[in-house]
Amino acid sequence: MKLIILDRDGVINYDSDAFIKTPDEWKPIPGSLEAIAHLTQMGYRVVVAANQSGIGRGLMDMAALNAINDRMWKAACQAGGRIDAMFFCPHACADKCDCRKPATGMFKEIAQRFGLELDGVPAIGDSLRDMQAAATVGALPVLVLTGKGEKTKAEGGLPENTLIFSDLAAAVNALAK
């Protein structure tokens, strides 16, 4: 089975410093839904793993998160793609949980649910914490320059095997080769 792990905000959809709190605030980055469709056509199982501290901060509830994710799933389907699973951490940074990236709890849960090791599995994100979580579990860290990606690249400190692409579509096109 081919598996790929995607962060949500800043990778699939535009990010916001004020958080994505409603389905209307969820706006796909151009080419991202088509990239998910391309992954689906290539036989990848597409999994989203996202920190969603807006829940822990009281900015939204589970119903709002579910409605946002439902919009994302439907948009991916309409583009010909499929998102096989959504994993998220609802905690704020201060909670010191083991699921909030850069901790690896979500990644370990993905490995367990899909019954595989994550060695070499592409994990695409836009933040240092995405790259750190991926590298810690042996996944392939892939930074996109959308969302916080440009700032993340400029700040440095990326795991040494991190691949860098302009956006999700460019990363997926590279995987297709």
Q: What is the pTM of this model?
A: 0.97
The amino acid sitting at 98 is D
Calculate the average pLDDT of the chain. 97
What is the spatial distance between Cα 159 and Cα 172, in angstroms, rounded to a whole number? 20
The string of pLDDT tens digits covering residues 24-82 is 999 999 999 999 999 999 999 999 999 999 999 999 999 999 999 999 999 999 999 99
Which has the higher per-residue pLDDT, 1 or 48?
48
Q: Tell me which CATH code domain 2-175 carries.
A: 3.40.50.1000
Query: Annotated catalytic sites, by residue?
Result: 7, 9
Task: Tell me the C-alpha distance between 19 and 29, whole Å.
Answer: 16
Q: Note the pLDDT tens digit of each residue in 138-165.
A: 999 999 999 999 999 999 999 999 999 9
Angle at 28 between CA 175 and CA 171, to 5 degrees: 15
- Residue ranges of domains in the chain: 2-175
The span from the CA of 148 to the CA of 16, in Å, is 10
SS3 71: helix
